[in-house]
Structure 1
Amino acid sequence: MSGELPPNINIREPRWDQSTFVGRANHFFTVTDPRNILLTNEQLENARKIVHDYRQGVVPPGLTENELWRAKYIYDSAFHPDTGEKMILIGRMSAQVPMNMTITGCMMTFYRTTPAVLFWQWVNQSFNAVVNYTNRSGDAPLTVNELGTAYVSATTGAVVTALGLNALTKHVSPLIGRFVPFAAVAAANCINIPLMRQRELKVGIPVTDENGNRLGESAQAARQAITQVVVSRILMAAPGMAIPPFIMNTLEKKAFLKPTPLPSRYPAGCTLSPEESSRGPGFH
């Protein structure tokens, strides 16, 4: 619907019916649209103005329903829902696809050496820390000490898990070794998220009724929410980190991925003279 703006549109809720799979999928793909990270500050501020004005009952002339919903999702993609502050770019949901694709690919490619494991697990946990901090509850701000503890603990947990599993898998199938990054990510999520949101576990998160009226804070709700986040983060990583190892293991057995020995310029059975041998492989 792109015509005249209907009255009383509730832009605090998703545009699509969340009781259906299609509705949830449309909402998810709109929230995580990577194109939103390319928007300028001017476009973001314009979306914020439209949303704030509409919530106050001010409707700009000529505004259509599609434009209103577009502004709502741009606003949601860049501004914190509790504090209203502009979120860190790589911590926004719209940055998740390109950032996770890049980091996951690197972790699964460079996992054999200790320096590579250290570097890419550090990069991944640094990114996770930014995401968790950016999307924290605005009612439970973290102190610098709490933030540092969560970051160091998650990074250490991921690195120790990865290095430990790498050591255990050196004498087993290469296929098992390819699952090391996934195991390290799962372990780190179990550490990073609860620590990064520990204030919510202590003081609770806001609980509202169906009309949005705040009823109070609940630590039980925080525990349930954080548990769901941990499980969902692990499951979200599974398709990209648990399926490709099987694919790569199969492809590496194919002829086109196997190393091809360089052809010899000498006929089979030919022996080199002492003079030729002393010139080394560069002799022509």
Structure 2
Amino acid sequence: MSASLPGNRELPESQYDLTTYWGRVRQTATLTDPSTLFAGKHGLEQAKKLVVAYKRGEIKDMTPELWKAKQVVDSTVHPDTGETVFLPFRMSCFVFSNLIVTAGMLTPGLKTTGTVLWQVANQSLNVAINSANANKSTPLSYSKIAQSYFLAVGASCSVAVGLNALVPRLKRVSPSTKLVLGRLVPFAAVASANIVNVFLMRGEEIRTGIDVYPVLSDADKAQLAKEGKAESDVPSLGKSRKAATLAVGETAASRVFNSTPIMVVPPLILMRLQRTEWLRKNPRYTLPINLGLILGMSYVVLPFALAAFPQRQRISADSLEEEFRGRGGDGGMVVFNRGI
């Protein structure tokens, strides 16, 4: 993000009010905007130059061009490391990266082998996205990543295969209800595995804590500017396990919020459409309709799900461990990167 670039003058955090849910939705929509993917290496470097020019005082005011540059930087660069996130794992590419995998999992009539393979593909992608966008103040070893991956795959496959075997055996359920339940099996598998995946992938954060920083007042920011320093130069107050637990829990919840409508609405609509005379006569349109439903729902839902909780989360220092009490910044508050 722009905070990781050099310069002692910080850009405004957003054009929108991030203390409100709708403000965060609008901000998240800019970060997940697929158009930022077309900036390329040259576009990113140009965007960085504009942001650095502002932070060094060479550009005095925020302009539409500068807001666009900040959007490109914030959607491409990791806020903790300052490194470019690999394109398929950026949140601006999330909808497209998940499209084929989600369509595969929601394919009607999958057998056990197909179910397992698509669940493995989904968890592989989830692990990569979780790893690329996690809070980086607590690095995760490759052995931990591998362990988390296999446990998440095991969880998702167990739920999917188990429910696929259970639903047909339900005796007091009508055939139409069984059909609905069968279409919702992928949702149950994905939702449960998403929670397991996030907590396993980011379990090290909970064990060792993540960096928390004091919230700076306007006077603090002015003093830093006089000293030729930026907000990113302010040292961490230490690592908090309570902040990490909150960060990981909120991320897991946002993933469930995101997957629920995507995994529930399209299969139910498709099931209804498959009963129509038109689609019965034109079954070749089933796949493109399924892809269209998933793509449309994914694009609409993602900003609303990610905006459920602020990415830079503020919390009272007194609600954390004893060592942080009384050490908060403006209003006794501290801030940390929740991750996405």
Scaled to the shorter chain, the TM-score interval is: 0.7 to 0.9
Partner letter of residue 233 of structure 1? R
How big is the shift at 1:25?
2.4
Q: Which residue in the other structure is 1:30 paired with?
A: 30
How big is the shift at 1:259?
6.6
Change (3 A) 1:10 1:26: farther
Q: Which residue in the other structure is 1:93 paired with?
A: 91
Q: Which residue in the other structure is 1:174 paired with?
A: 179
Q: Which residue in the other structure is 1:252 paired with?
A: 274
Q: Which residue in the other structure is 1:75 paired with?
A: 73
Report SS of the residue matched to 2:95.
helix
Q: Which residue in the other structure is 1:118 paired with?
A: 116
Q: Which residue in the other structure is 1:108 paired with?
A: 106
Report SS of the residue matched to 1:39.
helix
Partner letter of residue 137 of structure 1? N
Q: CA deviation digits over 1:109-153, x for unaligned, max 9?
A: 155212211221111111111110001212111111011111111
Report SS of the residue matched to 1:80.
coil
Preserved CA contact (<8 Å) 1:112 1:166: no
Q: Greater share of helix residues, 1 or 2?
A: 2
| Structure 2: stretches of 5+ with no match in the other structure | 1-7, 171-177, 217-230, 283-340
Report SS of the residue matched to 2:211.
strand
> Matched residues in 2 for 1:53 and 1:231: separation?
38
How big is the shift at 1:106?
2.0
Q: Which residue in the other structure is 1:269 paired with?
A: none
Preserved CA contact (<8 Å) 1:17 1:23: yes
Q: Which residue in the other structure is 1:282 paired with?
A: none
> Matched residues in 2 for 1:232 and 1:72: separation?
24
RMSD (CA atoms): 2.2
Bigger radius of gyration? 1
Change (3 A) 1:12 1:140: farther
Preserved CA contact (<8 Å) 1:117 1:162: yes
Question: Which has the higher relative contact order, 1 or 2, with Cα contacts under 8 A spaced 6 or more apart?
Answer: 2
Q: CA deviation digits over 1:24-83, x for unaligned, max 9?
A: 2221110100111222111112212322343233439xx861111111111111111011
Preserved CA contact (<8 Å) 1:252 1:258: yes
- After TM superposition, what 4+ stretches of structure 1 lie above 4 angstroms from structure 2? none
Name the count of aligned residue pairs: 251
> Matched residues in 1 for 2:52 and 2:209: separation?
28
Q: Which residue in the other structure is 1:234 paired with?
A: 256
Residue of 133, 139, 147 corresponding to 2:137: 139
> Matched residues in 2 for 1:225 and 1:87: separation?
20
Q: Which residue in the other structure is 1:224 paired with?
A: 246
Preserved CA contact (<8 Å) 2:9 2:56: no
Q: Which residue in the other structure is 1:45 paired with?
A: 45
Preserved CA contact (<8 Å) 2:191 2:260: no
Preserved CA contact (<8 Å) 1:90 1:130: no
Preserved CA contact (<8 Å) 2:9 2:55: no
Q: CA deviation digits over 1:186-231, x for unaligned, max 9?
A: 1111211111112211221111222154322210011011111111
Q: Which residue in the other structure is 1:18 paired with?
A: 18
> Matched residues in 2 for 1:110 and 1:35: separation?
32
Residue of 191, 213, 233 corresponding to 1:208: 213
Q: Which residue in the other structure is 1:272 paired with?
A: none
Structure 1 residues 244-253 or 80-89, which shifts more?
244-253
Q: Which residue in the other structure is 1:184 paired with?
A: 189
Change (3 A) 1:102 1:123: same
Q: Give the structure-1-normalised TM-score.
A: 0.81
How big is the shift at 1:85?
0.9
Q: Give the structure-2-normalised TM-score.
A: 0.68
Change (3 A) 1:186 1:111: farther
> Matched residues in 2 for 1:58 and 1:196: separation?
41
Identity %: 37
Q: Which residue in the other structure is 1:277 paired with?
A: none
| Structure 1: stretches of 5+ with no match in the other structure | 1-7, 261-284
> Matched residues in 1 for 2:38 and 2:150: separation?
31
Change (3 A) 1:52 1:35: same
Q: Which residue in the other structure is 1:164 paired with?
A: 162
Report SS of the residue matched to 2:237.
strand
> Matched residues in 2 for 1:22 and 1:228: separation?
18
